[in-house]
Structure 1
């Protein structure tokens, strides 16, 4: 697979960095929406599989994340992030007009992808990995405190593969500090917005989650996914897996489930 290309677009809060993993003859476009505190470059392994499967893959770094502009991990309004994803989608569609669009959102990116589906539609498929959606109680607990504690995400919570945690801990583009109050407040607002925003317009939804996800517990996500996708949800729950199922010890199984699902929903 060719090295990713970096595009710098105009985002809602300044420069928006978008990675592209190119495919000379794609049959669909996949846009990867990363999670809190990380960046699109962490999804190179997912992109490699999707390119081999026939996708041109794009991944924006959200405001305050990765190489995009903004104070680190400050998201004042997730509607801006949804708009930035739409900008990246526009660039992808301009390069590959007429191809089906798949949106893949992990964790916080699942919240953004869900809201994107509500606002914009036009998806051939929506994939949610450990999505922050439904009854996620962390924002309420943090906002009840006078001061948000300086407790960064534990690398061990991401995967049973210790190499994943080590790479995360050493990554200079990953945020290793505390959550910031404006972002926590924006999480709380957008969880309510998505809950009240209806379904995803009948788009097929694939939900991937680990049973040992301690960052976004599976039971809390379930009602949000079911409200969003209705009868069109395919779920794959992985016993013992932690938060980042795409980086788990059974990642080959997870990625095979992803491409198998896409084979059932994309036009041939």
Structure 2
């Protein structure tokens, strides 16, 4: 895998750290959208799989996350986060005009990717949603109903059946290990409602992957959101016993294989 190119650009709410892994002869452009409290650096193995599959890959750290500016995990409007992502995609498409674009979002990043697809459908060839925060997230409503947000961080054991994943997460200094912040929760709620209201993604090929035993973002709640946005080309994969981070699960090779097979199927379909 090539050495990544790293840079910053002016986002809606401060400097945004971005990274890309270009290829001289890419088949498509894969854009990674990470989840809450984490950062793009946790996706190196996903980048390798996509690069081996022929993709140029890029992504960013959301405002308040990873190496980007801003108060940690504070997001007051996800439309601004989507706008930052659009800046990245626009720049990447300018560097490689004509390439098919596959947007891949995990958890909160899946929510961001879904909203991006609603706003910029014509720029995308395919969408992949991993454990996305969509539809109904009961934990969010529970937290918003409390007078004070408890000092309870995400439990690393809920991420994967592989203990090493949780251990690395707990030791990662770029991961947020504190509680949720109310303005971020309120912004999440608004974004979920906006996605539900704006409806179908039309004929955009979409792959939804989710762990059956996801305790952080249970698939039953997400399914209501998938039904709100699904169009004419939805593929679903629910992995038995898998937890929240299916790209980091004990069957991650299977999951990534399903992603690349989905991309192959989409790229073989003639452009409409």
Shorter-chain TM-score above 0.5: yes
Alignment of 1:62-81 (within 5 A): 62-81=62-81
Asked if residue 189 in structure 1 is aligned to residue 190 in structure 2, the reply is: yes
Match of 2:44 in 1: 44
Contact map agreement 1:130 1:210 (CA 8 A) in 2: yes
Does the residue aligned with 1:153 lie in a helix, a strand or coil? coil
Deviations 1:166-208 (A, max 9, x none): 1111111100000000000001111100000111232000000
Alignment of 1:99-138 (within 5 A): 99-121=99-121, 122-138=123-139
CA distance in structure 2 between the partners assigned to 1:106 and 1:47 by the alignment: 14
Match of 1:260 in 2: 261
Asked if residue 95 in structure 1 is aligned to residue 90 in structure 2, the reply is: no
Match of 1:246 in 2: 247
CA distance in structure 2 between the partners assigned to 1:147 and 1:13 by the alignment: 26
CA distance in structure 2 between the partners assigned to 1:240 and 1:19 by the alignment: 33
Does the residue aligned with 2:66 lie in a helix, a strand or coil? coil
- Structure 1 stretches (4+) deviating beyond 6 angstroms? none
Cα shift at 1:2: 1.7
Match of 1:12 in 2: 12
Does the residue aligned with 1:231 lie in a helix, a strand or coil? coil
CA distance in structure 2 between the partners assigned to 1:63 and 1:253 by the alignment: 31
Gaps of 5+ in 2: none
Q: Let me know the Cα RMSD of the aligned residues.
A: 1.0
Contact map agreement 1:73 1:183 (CA 8 A) in 2: yes
Does the residue aligned with 1:47 lie in a helix, a strand or coil? helix
Match of 1:170 in 2: 171
Cα shift at 1:22: 2.0
TM (normalized to structure 2)? 0.96
Deviations 1:15-44 (A, max 9, x none): 111111221211110100000000011111
Deviations 1:69-123 (A, max 9, x none): 1100000000000001101101111111110100001000010000001111121
Cα shift at 1:230: 2.9
Does the residue aligned with 2:52 lie in a helix, a strand or coil? helix
Gaps of 5+ in 1: none
CA distance in structure 2 between the partners assigned to 1:103 and 1:199 by the alignment: 17
Once the two structures are overlaid, the 10-residue window that deviates more, 20-29 or 67-76, is 20-29
Does the residue aligned with 2:193 lie in a helix, a strand or coil? helix
CA distance in structure 2 between the partners assigned to 1:178 and 1:106 by the alignment: 20
Match of 2:56 in 1: 56
CA distance in structure 1 between the partners assigned to 2:227 and 2:25 by the alignment: 35
CA distance in structure 1 between the partners assigned to 2:80 and 2:155 by the alignment: 27
TM (normalized to structure 1)? 0.98
Once the two structures are overlaid, the 10-residue window that deviates more, 223-232 or 163-172, is 223-232
Match of 1:83 in 2: 83
